[in-house]
Structure 1
Amino acid sequence: MEGDGPTGSAAIPEYLQMKNTLKKKLDSSNRNDPLHPMFVKMFEKTNTYLLEALACETLVISTILNPSFRLAIFEKHFPKEALDAKKRLVELFEERKNQMAEKIQQEKEREKDTALKEKETNEDDIYSFFSGPSNNSGQDEIEMYLGGVDRIIHGNKKDYMFSALNWWKVCFSLASSNE
Structure 2
Amino acid sequence: MEGNQGTGAHVIPKYLELKDQLSGKLDRSKGTDMLYPMYYSMLGRVEKYLAEAMDCETLKLATILHPCYRMHLFELVFGSDSDEVKECVKLLNFRFLEYKEKPVVSPTRLNDPEPDITVIGNSEADPSSLMARLASRMTRKPSTPYENEIETFLKADLIFTSKEIHDKSTPLRWWKANCTTYPSLSRMARAYLGCTGSSCAVERLFSAASDVCSSRRGGLLPSTMSRCVSSLMWLREKVPLTGDFEEAGKALSALQPVPKKKMVT
Tell me the TM-score normalized by structure 1. Answer: 0.53
Partner Cα separation in structure 2 for residue 7 and residue 84 of structure 1: 22
Residue 44 of structure 1 is matched in structure 2 by: 44
The yes-or-no answer on 1:67 pairing with 2:70 is: no
Partner Cα separation in structure 2 for residue 40 and residue 100 of structure 1: 51
Which of 93, 102, 109 is the matching residue for 2:96?
93
Partner Cα separation in structure 2 for residue 90 and residue 99 of structure 1: 15
More helix per residue: 1
* Cα offset, 1:53, TM superposition: 0.8
Identity of aligned residues (%): 41
Amino acid of the structure 1 residue aligned with 2:86? L
* Cα offset, 1:62, TM superposition: 0.3
* Cα offset, 1:49, TM superposition: 0.9
Partner Cα separation in structure 2 for residue 100 and residue 86 of structure 1: 24
* Cα offset, 1:10, TM superposition: 0.7
SS at 2:68 equivalent? coil
Partner Cα separation in structure 1 for residue 32 and residue 84 of structure 2: 37
Amino acid of the structure 1 residue aligned with 2:93? V
Partner Cα separation in structure 2 for residue 84 and residue 32 of structure 1: 40
The yes-or-no answer on 1:2 pairing with 2:2 is: yes
Residue 107 of structure 1 is matched in structure 2 by: none
Select the structure of larger CA radius of gyration: 1
Partner Cα separation in structure 1 for residue 73 and residue 64 of structure 2: 8
Residue 30 of structure 1 is matched in structure 2 by: 30
Deviations 1:34-58 (Å, cap 9, x if unpaired)? 2111110000111111111111110
SS at 2:6 equivalent? coil
SS at 1:9 equivalent? helix
Partner Cα separation in structure 2 for residue 10 and residue 35 of structure 1: 28
Amino acid of the structure 2 residue aligned with 1:100? P
* Cα offset, 1:99, TM superposition: 2.0
Deviations 1:141-167 (Å, cap 9, x if unpaired)? xxxxxxxxxxxxxxxxxxxxxxxxxxx
Aligned CA RMSD, in angstroms, stands at 1.7
Instruction: Say which structure, 1 or 2, has more relative contact order (CA 8 Å, 6+ apart).
Output: 2
Gaps of at least 5 residues in structure 2 are: 107-265
SS at 1:51 equivalent? helix
Partner Cα separation in structure 2 for residue 20 and residue 94 of structure 1: 34
Gaps of at least 5 residues in structure 1 are: 105-179
SS at 1:33 equivalent? coil
* Cα offset, 1:82, TM superposition: 1.0
Tell me the TM-score normalized by structure 2. Answer: 0.37
Partner Cα separation in structure 1 for residue 71 and residue 9 of structure 2: 12
